């Protein structure tokens, strides 16, 4: 649909934030954070094929987020309805109580949503993206639309920085390091390498070469960007020096990505979904 800019548009904080490639690191951070909720991580472990096809799941998740941010109204609703139908047919067993639960319970959907949007925002700001306090709150408020897409009542979702901070404080007694949490975190830190990606052989280069060590550095930065209380649950340090090191690392990664992107042909310097959205909005 020509001119259909979807849920947000070029004047939104969401478009300003998500044009930053460093948000890929925010997605990784959110997975570490989400895994600290025992039921949420049990639901993922018992239903997701991420261990058998981690890169495929990563691609599908990235496509969904990109569609919600930049897709047309019809594209967004189609993607969201597929996700809601998928979740509606899934359940899991609580390892601690043996109780079976639906993975689309509002409490679980809310945790996943807040962990994700807070991770995107925190990663961008720590990387040097400048946002005013009003823009920070504006991003959380805009993302109520994303929460509604997965089946949440927007009135039950934190919509400002203060509300998000209060939500995390209230949730902390429910968070812990379970076997599923530990296995998921290890998997995220040392994932298997696919034989090929896009037709290119990868296994030898990533398994033995510097790219494997580079990825470990990226994963370490994502962990370092977690709140101090979350790092402590994982057995790490909540020291301010860790926060400083992570901030320096993520700023360096953002600068490196910008340098690499600038060397690419123009058609590869922008994600296809964003380019299509800007074209629909009449922008170049």
Q: Exposed e or buried b for every residue in 192-229, given b needs 16+ CB within 10 A?
A: ebbeeeeeeebeeebeeeeeeeebeebbebbbbbbbee
- Name the pTM for this structure: 0.90
What digits encode the pLDDT tens for the residues 129-172? 999 999 999 999 999 999 999 999 999 999 999 999 999 999 99
What digits encode the pLDDT tens for the residues 40-76? 999 998 987 666 666 677 788 889 999 999 999 999 9
């Amino acid at each position: 649909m020509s001119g259909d800019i979807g849920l947000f548009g070029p004047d939104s904080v969401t478009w300003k934030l998500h044009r930053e490639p460093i948000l890929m690191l925010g997605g990784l951070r959110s997975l570490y954070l989400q895994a600290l909720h025992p039921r949420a991580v049990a639901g993922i472990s018992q239903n997701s094929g991420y261990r058998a096809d981690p890169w495929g799941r990563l691609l599908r998740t990235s496509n969904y987020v990109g569609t919600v941010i930049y897709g047309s109204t019809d594209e967004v609703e189609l993607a969201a309805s597929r996700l809601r139908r998928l979740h509606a047919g899934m359940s899991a067993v609580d390892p601690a109580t043996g109780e079976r639960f639906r993975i689309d319970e509002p409490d679980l959907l809310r945790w996943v949503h807040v962990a994700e949007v807070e991770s995107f925002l925190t990663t961008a700001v720590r990387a040097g993206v400048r946002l005013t306090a009003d823009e920070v709150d504006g991003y959380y408020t805009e993302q109520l639309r994303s929460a509604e897409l997965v089946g949440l009542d927007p009135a039950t979702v934190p919509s400002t920085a203060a509300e998000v901070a209060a939500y995390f404080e209230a949730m902390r007694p429910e968070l812990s390091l379970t076997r599923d949490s530990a296995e998921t975190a290890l998997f995220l830190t040392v994932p298997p390498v696919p034989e090929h990606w896009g037709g290119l052989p990868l296994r030898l280069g990533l398994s033995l070469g510097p790219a494997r060590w580079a990825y470990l550095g990226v994963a370490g930065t994502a962990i370092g960007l977690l709140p101090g209380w979350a790092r402590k649950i994982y057995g790490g340090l909540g020291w301010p020096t860790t926060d400083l090191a992570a901030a320096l690392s993520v700023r360096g990664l953002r600068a490196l990505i910008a340098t690499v992107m600038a060397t690419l042909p123009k058609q590869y310097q922008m994600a296809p979904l964003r380019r299509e959205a800007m074209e629909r909005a009449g922008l170049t």
